[in-house]
Amino acid sequence: MEQEAKVTKKVEGIDLSRREMLIGAGALMAGVAASQLGVLNTAKAAQASNGEVWPWPYEKLDPARVGETAYHAWYDVFCSQAVTTGLFEQLREKVGEPWSSFPINSLRFGMGGMLGWGLTCGAPVSGALVIGLVTPAEVATPMVRDLLGWYANTPMPVYSPQNGRYNGEIPKSVAQSPLCHQSVGRWMKTADRPFGSDERRHRCASVTASVAYRTAEMLNDWKDGKYVVPADNWDGAAAMGLPSQQNCMSCHSDGVPSPPR
């Protein structure tokens, strides 16, 4: 019997035997499969870098550096964006993505309690944002409440910058609320200084630094497994029958309605 005839096919001037064609086809299919796998892996990586994976990775931060960065950032971008600047700076260095791609400029709206409306101070708003990115909901909920309660009930500012932009002494005040207009207003009354004064600007920058510092401390403790929820953590809906803060009567007197039970 004659030896198996060599089957050839002319493709663009190249002679290919049957065996060569089969080998080539197999290599082609393997290449297609590999490329598809590469596309899938790239898609997964893009998904992670786009912030669609949650919670985000966290490494412990230097709270003093966070506070100092946030203090100076306040003079350029104000409270909300300054807190994220202080926290994100190290997270981008230590972790990279997805922190590196987050557009922190989008948080400028938090200034002045939402662009001057005097609502919740932008500093704890951004602290809460980072807590929410890092921790699962069952941790973030009490931790954010803790941060807001700390802000409302602590004589502020706590953090003193190493290189402050105001060299004099300023008084501290207790906001009794996370609301910007109460926090700033009570301090202005205590200090007898107007809103546009250098002292007030230094005060708000220092409060911003204080919140950024405190947020880093809390997340570091959580990372170490040492964070403990305070026994008196405030839950307005549970305590008052509707979402509320702790001191409604101090401003609204008898005008606060009682919710139906």
CB 157, CB 187: distance < 8 Å: no
What is the spatial distance between Cα 55 and Cα 33, in angstroms, rounded to a whole number? 32
Tell me the domain boundaries of the chain: 8-40, 63-244
What is the spatial distance between Cα 245 and Cα 250, in angstroms, rounded to a whole number? 11
- Please report, in tens digits, the pLDDT of each residue of the chain (261 residues total): 444 444 334 333 334 444 444 444 444 444 444 444 443 443 344 455 554 789 999 999 999 999 999 999 999 999 999 999 999 999 999 999 999 999 999 999 999 999 999 999 999 999 999 999 999 999 999 999 999 999 999 999 999 999 999 999 999 999 999 999 999 999 999 999 999 999 999 999 999 999 999 999 999 999 999 999 988 776 665 555 556 566 666 666 666 667 676
Q: Where are the beta strands (DSSP E) in the chain?
A: 8-11, 14-17
In eight-state DSSP terms, residue 14 is E
Task: Give the chain's end-to-end CA distance (angstroms, integer).
Answer: 100
Give the pLDDT of residue 260.
Answer: 73
What is the spatial distance between Cα 112 and Cα 196, in angstroms, rounded to a whole number? 13
What is the spatial distance between Cα 52 and Cα 237, in angstroms, rounded to a whole number? 31
Cα 210 to chain centroid, rounded? 16
pTM listed for this prediction = 0.76
Give the pLDDT of residue 3.
Answer: 45
Give the pLDDT of residue 232.
Answer: 79
Q: Tokens 């190290």 belong to which residue?
A: 90
Question: What would the two tokens of residue 169 be?
Answer: 């002494």
Give the pLDDT of residue 216.
Answer: 99
What is the spatial distance between Cα 153 and Cα 234, in angstroms, rounded to a whole number? 11
